Amino acid sequence: MIELDERRIAAFLLQHVGEYATSYLLVKEAGAYFGNMEKLTDNQLFELEDAVSKVADKYGFVLNKQHHDGKLEGLPWNLDFLIERKSDGGIDG
C-alpha cells in the first residue's frame, strides 16, 4: 500500500483551486510521497490515483475530469482534472 502525506495533498488542493493538475504531478509537487516516484509500479500508481481522490473528497474538493468524458485516453494518474471546491459548483454545489 502506497503511503502519502494527506496534509500535503489537501494543502496543495487548497492552494490550487481553479487550476488543472494530474494526481501524479500533484503528489510530486506537493512532496506527498517520500520515495522515488520514478520507481512506482503501475499498481502503486493506481493506488496513488485512488488515494488522491479520497483525500480530495474528505477535504471537500472535486477533481473534475468531465472534459475527458467519452474519450479513450491515457492512464488515470496522467489525466488532468480541474480542482474545485464542492461548495463552488462541484458535486454538492
Per-residue pLDDT of the chain (93 residues; tens, 9 = 90+): 899 999 999 999 999 999 999 999 999 999 999 999 999 999 999 999 999 999 999 999 999 988 656 666 666 777 899 999 987 554 444
Q: How crowded is the C-beta side of 6, counted as CA atoms within 13 Å?
A: 9
- The C-alpha cell that represents 38 in the structure block: 520514478
Q: What is the pLDDT of residue 87?
A: 76
- The C-alpha cell that represents 51 in the structure block: 488515494
Task: Parse the chain into domains and list their residue ranges.
Answer: 6-88
- The C-alpha cell that represents 50 in the structure block: 485512488
- Stated pTM of the model: 0.83
